[in-house]
């Protein structure tokens, strides 16, 4: 019977094509070609009209069975292909979170900021506040309230950049002492980091722009012992318990008595070398008991209150901390230098 032959031909072709098929769209096309309105199987159904009434039921049964089988085959293939395509997509979209990649270039904290942060941590943990003041400063705060009147020889020690007769680039952070005493009531405990300016040469240990951290404590019964203890704690916190601290008598118009403080040289550890000019010590700060004259000029009664002040050179203590022998490295922004502090 020719319907049988046709059916098995269509069935074989379908199975062969299904076997080679690997995309859902192609499957859809095949389905249309066989089962669609103009499909080969549909054509067979239509052809049934030419059969005799006796042949028709049998033929119809055969065609329907074939149709069901083909539909099942197509559906199975469809499931298989859909599964395969999903797997391929998941594979393609998968992200290996462990794969190493190029990190974007991120900066690092400058060594002076590293040290500054440590210094501020140290003093704030002792109860100090952080204060700030202007870089362009009035002569009044930079000098006069600090007991350095006009034409006083102490002005020569700080080669000043003048903006006009009454305005300077601050030569130290000490004007913040005066500003703080005028604006706050004791007890006062502040540290003030900032940029300062002096008409200096540029060399391995000097720059016309550098940084200081001012400290000021005013209260009843503050003594030189408190000053020494505070600075000793500071030195040990930054450099460890083995660092030695040396106080040398000195002079500043705004402190009395005054001292300069040295720490053991980072390079030779006290033996004496080029860095410390053979002394074994490196000067890092000036300090003293606030001059009673400064207290009264700033509105604090020296009969009731006393206090101490210090001015730390940030470049110096940074160089000491990391064994940096040339201050200019701190300003040049050379990445080979800076990256060492990552």
* C-beta nearest to ligand PHE: residue: 311
Shortest approach of ligand PHE to residue 198 CB, angstroms? 9
Nearer to ligand PHE, 267 or 291 (CB): 291
SS3 at position 329: helix
Shortest approach of ligand PHE to residue 337 CB, angstroms? 27
Nearer to ligand PHE, 312 or 319 (CB): 312
Nearer to ligand PHE, 197 or 266 (CB): 197
DSSP string, 114-138: HHHHHHHHHHHHTTPEE----SEEE
Beta strands in 77-236 (DSSP E): 129-130, 136-138, 162-164, 167-169, 188-197, 209-219
Shortest approach of ligand PHE to residue 283 CB, angstroms? 10
Nearer to ligand PHE, 309 or 319 (CB): 309
Terminal Cα-to-Cα distance of the chain (whole angstroms): 88
CA distances from 219 to 155, 176, 185, 189, 193 (A): 29, 17, 9, 9, 21
Nearest to 133 by CA among 330, 333, 311: 311
For residue 80, give both structure tokens.
């298989």
Nearer to ligand PHE, 191 or 309 (CB): 309
Nearer to ligand PHE, 10 or 217 (CB): 217
Rounded distance between C-alpha atoms, residue 24 and residue 11, angstroms: 20
Shortest approach of ligand PHE to residue 291 CB, angstroms? 10
Phi-psi region of 131 (alpha: psi -120 to 50; beta: other; left: phi over 0): beta
CA distances from 280 to 244, 262, 263, 265, 341 (A): 11, 9, 9, 5, 26
Shortest approach of ligand PHE to residue 148 CB, angstroms? 10
Shortest approach of ligand PHE to residue 252 CB, angstroms? 4
Residues in the chain: 342
Nearer to ligand PHE, 197 or 310 (CB): 310
Q: Are strands 136-138 and 167-169 parallel, antiparallel or unpaired?
A: antiparallel
Triad 317, 110, 246: Cα angle to 5° = 5
Shortest approach of ligand PHE to residue 340 CB, angstroms? 29
Rounded distance between C-alpha atoms, residue 112 and residue 210, angstroms: 11
- The secondary structure of residue 185, as a DSSP letter, is P
- Residue identified by tokens 């539909």 is 71
Shortest approach of ligand PHE to residue 181 CB, angstroms? 13
Nearer to ligand PHE, 266 or 310 (CB): 310
Nearer to ligand PHE, 194 or 311 (CB): 311
Chain residues binding ligand PHE by CB under 6 A are: 172, 174, 252, 255, 258, 286-288, 309-311
Shortest approach of ligand PHE to residue 261 CB, angstroms? 10
- Are 259 and 247 contacting, i.e. CB atoms less than 8 angstroms apart? yes
């Amino acid at each position: 019977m020719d319907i049988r032959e046709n059916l098995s031909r269509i069935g074989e072709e379908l199975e062969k094509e299904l076997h080679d098929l690997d995309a859902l769209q192609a499957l859809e096309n095949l389905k249309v070609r066989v089962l669609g309105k103009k499909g080969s199987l549909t054509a067979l159904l239509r052809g049934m009209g030419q059969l005799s009434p006796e042949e028709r039921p049998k033929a119809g049964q055969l065609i329907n069975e074939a149709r069901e089988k083909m539909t099942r085959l197509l559906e199975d293939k469809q499931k298989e292909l859909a599964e395969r395509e999903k797997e391929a997509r998941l594979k393609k979209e998968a992200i290996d979170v462990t794969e190493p990649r190029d990190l974007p270039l991120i900066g690092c904290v400058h060594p002076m900021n590293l040290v500054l942060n440590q210094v501020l941590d140290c003093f704030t943990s002792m109860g100090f506040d952080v204060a700030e003041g202007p870089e362009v400063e009035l002569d009044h705060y930079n000098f006069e309230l600090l007991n350095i009147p006009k034409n006083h020889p102490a002005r020569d020690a700080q080669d000043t950049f003048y903006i006009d007769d009454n305005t300077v680039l601050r030569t130290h952070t000490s004007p913040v002492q005066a500003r703080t005493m005028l604006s706050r009531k004791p007890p006062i405990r502040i540290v003030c980091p900032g940029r300062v300016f002096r008409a200096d040469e540029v060399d391995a240990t000097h720059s016309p722009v550098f940084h200081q951290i001012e400290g000021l404590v005013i209260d009843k019964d503050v003594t030189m012992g408190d000053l020494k203890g505070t600075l000793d704690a500071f030195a040990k916190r930054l450099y460890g318990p083995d660092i030695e601290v040396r106080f040398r008598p000195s002079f500043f118009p705004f402190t009395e008595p005054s001292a300069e403080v040295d720490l053991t040289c980072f390079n030779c550890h006290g033996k004496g070398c080029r860095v410390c000019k053979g002394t074994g010590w490196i000067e890092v700060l000036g300090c003293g008991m606030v001059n009673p004259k400064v207290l009264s000029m700033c509105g604090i009664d020296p009969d009731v209150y006393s206090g101490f002040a210090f001015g730390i050179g940030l470049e110096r203590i940074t160089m000491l901390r990391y064994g940096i022998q040339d201050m200019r490295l701190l300003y040049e922004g050379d990445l080979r230098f800076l990256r060492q502090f990552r």
